[in-house]
């Protein structure tokens, strides 16, 4: 059915606002460590991250296809459902950014999609297999990030263990520039695609396209929005991830960024929407534990985990309420 033009435009605008808030909160994933180790100044770091976020968004659309086709039955999706999911995701992203908590904008969006779908027609609209894949990625990404971060840090220590501390700092000062760029690029490759998928799903639901295919203008808009959000940066979140959770030096930042970037790019290649927040946080904890468990501030880590746990049910509830309200208006 051909939906009103104004409603499609509203969904696209909300999608870009969500993408902006995604970059705003997730800026910490890309630059927190490089800022904490003083390899780059904050404004230099966000400028680099924003540019590489945009470039990363162009390498694939596999994650967008998973979001658009793998989570809900596309034939049952309408624009009110998509709009409700976006409203929930936007509100959650903004609230958590002001609280200084790094959360998964991906899971905020997915929770919103599930909550709105249940409000529309029950669990029959939800594709349980696709949701299961997302939940598996949600569970494994911090664990794998932590394991790979620990392994990489121990491997590096074996190489540079006899070096003078000043030599280690000098070398990894430059190497961390590469790893920070690597993680920024990987972040854009996975996260920007979530909004590409949701906007394309809205175009399909609104009757503007006949099959699921991400138009190039959607890629351009989504890449630009997440890049702009990253450029502004959620500084409270950056402080939490880069400075409060563990004390980092350039060598630790390099290990955490490299391990998380590898995992995110692997997920992008396979079309799995993972949380860059979960992955980089796990990597930082793994790197910290490679030094000693006490180097990780577990009270901060626990607060972050609580925010993760409540993201899916919290956004699902907000989206359910939003859909019920929109159903009365549209």
Reported as a single tens digit per residue, the pLDDT across 1-17 is 556 888 999 999 999 99
Report angle CA 187, 190, 193 to the nearest 5 degrees: 125
User: Which SS3 state, helix, strand or coil, does residue 271 take?
Assistant: coil
Tally of CA atoms within 13 A in the half-sphere of 131 that contains its CB: 19
Distance CA 173, CA 153 (A): 15
CB 18 within 8 A of CB 195: yes
Q: Tell whether the model's pLDDT for residue 297 goes beyond 80.
A: no
Mean pLDDT of 265-270: 86
Question: What does the pLDDT average to over 287-301?
Answer: 71
Buried b / exposed e along 121-140 (16+ C-beta atoms within 10 A): eeeebbbeebbebbeebbeb
Q: CB count, 10 Å around CB of 24?
A: 23
72 strand-pairing partners: 126
| Residue 251: predicted pLDDT | 87
pLDDT in tens, 159-201: 988 898 889 988 988 888 888 888 888 878 887 788 888 899 8
Question: Residue 71 is part of which domain span?
Answer: 5-329
The mean pLDDT of 275-295, rounded to a whole number, is 78
The secondary structure of 140-169 as a DSSP string is: HHHHHHHHHHHHHHHHHHHHHTTS-HHHHH
Pick from 111, 71, 312, 105: which is nearest to 212 by CA?
A: 71
- Rounded to two decimals, the pTM is 0.83
Judge whether 102 and 279 are in contact, CB under 8 Å: no
Q: What is the C-alpha separation between 321 and 314, in angstroms, rounded?
A: 11
Task: Determine which helix (DSSP H) or strand (DSSP E) holds 130, and give its type and residue range.
Answer: helix 128-160
The number of domains in the chain is 1
């Amino acid at each position: 059915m051909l939906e009103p033009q104004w409603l499609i435009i509203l969904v696209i605008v909300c999608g870009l606002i969500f993408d902006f808030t995604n970059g705003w909160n997730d800026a910490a994933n890309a630059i927190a460590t490089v800022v904490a180790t003083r390899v780059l100044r904050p404004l230099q770091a966000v400028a680099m991250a924003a540019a590489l976020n945009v470039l990363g968004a162009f390498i694939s659309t596999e994650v967008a296809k998973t979001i658009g086709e793998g989570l809900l039955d596309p034939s049952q999706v309408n624009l009110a459902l998509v709009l409700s999911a976006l409203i929930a995701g936007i509100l959650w992203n903004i609230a958590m950014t002001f609280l200084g908590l790094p959360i998964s904008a991906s899971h905020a969006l997915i929770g919103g999609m599930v909550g709105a779908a249940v409000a529309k027609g029950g669990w029959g609209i939800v594709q349980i297999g696709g949701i299961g894949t997302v939940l598996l990625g949600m569970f494994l990404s911090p664990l794998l990030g932590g394991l790979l971060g620990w392994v990489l840090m121990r491997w590096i220590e074996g190489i540079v263990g006899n070096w003078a501390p000043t030599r280690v700092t000098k070398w990894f000062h430059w190497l961390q520039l590469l790893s920070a760029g690597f993680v920024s690029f990987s972040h854009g490759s996975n996260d920007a695609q979530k909004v590409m998928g949701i906007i394309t799903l809205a175009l399909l639901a609104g009757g503007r396209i006949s099959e699921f295919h991400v138009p190039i203008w959607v890629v351009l808009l989504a890449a630009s929005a997440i890049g702009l959000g990253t450029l502004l940066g959620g500084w409270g979140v950056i402080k939490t991830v880069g400075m409060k959770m563990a004390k980092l030096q350039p060598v630790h930042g390099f290990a955490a960024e490299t391990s998380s970037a590898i995992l995110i790019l692997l997920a992008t290649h396979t079309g799995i929407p993972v949380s860059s927040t979960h992955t980089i946080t796990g990597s930082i904890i793994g790197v910290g534990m490679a030094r000693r468990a006490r180097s990780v501030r577990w009270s901060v880590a626990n607060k972050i985990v609580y925010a993760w746990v409540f993201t899916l049910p919290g956004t699902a509830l907000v989206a359910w309420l939003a859909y019920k309200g929109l159903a009365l208006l549209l």
